[in-house]
């Protein structure tokens, strides 16, 4: 019996498309590439003994650090809590309250040459930006190696940055859209074998080529909200939620 065109159309609508999986072939056997593994996640919904716990089961807890009376605020949102960092200081201020969250050095956050991704949900206004406002990072550009997420002050665009071991050259990709509008945005940085990609609210917004054999490996702590407490530090002055890192 033949099906009518109307029935065939309905059947096509009801059957969801199956996304293609990356695969590798060994001999005559094709295997799907393993899914990325979450190695750190922080929701900021709770604290334990003054620390922010890791929810992945593989990461390290975060300690709040501050200078000049800086405070990390835990703010109640619609689905849980998020953190608010100290406000941007006036240009004439002699001292500025600063604060960040720091986790101990963690080997799972040193991807070497492997694929790696790091993400955060942020809300920041253009007036809150000061320099390259650092959201999330591990490592220093001039020492060993680094991966980082930040927002540029000039155009308010999200940026992903990587530096490989044995080099001080930074590879940076900027999002094609601004994110400094005071609204919540999900930012994701993806380092694959030879590319660095930035994703904003689920849409790829930029890619740059990087050396395929570049290794990212350092003994520095994970830091959220700023790189350090130097007077010229690029501190983040907005709000942050749902920070995570995935290996593979």
To the nearest 10°, report the CA torsion of 58, 74, 224, 185: 100
52 within a domain of the structure (yes/no): yes
pLDDT, tens only, 57-67: 999 999 999 99
Cα 64 versus chain centre, distance: 19
23 within a domain of the structure (yes/no): no
Number of domains in the chain: 1
Q: Which domain holds residue 107?
A: 35-247
CATH number of the domain bearing residue 197: 2.60.120.200
pTM of the model: 0.86
pLDDT at 14 over 80: no
For residue 10, name the pLDDT band (cuts at 50, 70, 90). very low
3-state secondary structure 168-196: CCEEEEEEEEECCEEEEEEEEEEECCCEE
């Amino acid at each position: 019996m033949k099906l009518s065109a109307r029935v065939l159309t309905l059947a096509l609508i009801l059957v969801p498309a199956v996304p293609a999986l990356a695969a590798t072939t060994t001999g005559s056997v094709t295997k799907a590439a393993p899914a990325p593994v979450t190695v750190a996640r922080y929701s900021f919904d709770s604290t334990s003994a003054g620390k922010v716990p890791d929810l992945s089961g593989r990461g390290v807890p975060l300690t709040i650090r501050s200078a000049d009376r800086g405070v990390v605020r835990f703010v109640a949102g619609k689905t849980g809590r998020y953190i608010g960092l100290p406000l941007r200081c006036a240009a004439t201020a002699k001292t500025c309250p600063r604060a960040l969250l720091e986790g101990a050095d963690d080997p799972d956050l040193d991807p070497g040459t492997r694929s790696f991704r790091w993400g955060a949900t942020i809300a920041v206004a253009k007036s809150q930006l000061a320099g390259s406002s650092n959201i999330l990072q591990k490592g220093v550009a001039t020492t060993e190696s680094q991966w980082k997420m930040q927002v540029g002050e000039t155009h308010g665009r999200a940026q992903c940055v990587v530096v490989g071991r044995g080099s001080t050259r930074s590879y940076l990709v900027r999002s094609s859209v601004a994110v400094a509008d005071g609204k919540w945005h999900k930012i994701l940085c993806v380092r694959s074998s030879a590319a660095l990609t930035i994703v904003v609210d689920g849409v790829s917004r930029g890619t740059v080529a990087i050396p395929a054999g570049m290794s990212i490996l350092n003994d520095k702590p994970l830091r959220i909200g700023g790189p350090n407490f130097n007077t010229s530090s690029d501190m983040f002055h907005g709000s942050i939620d749902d920070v995570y890192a995935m290996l593979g």
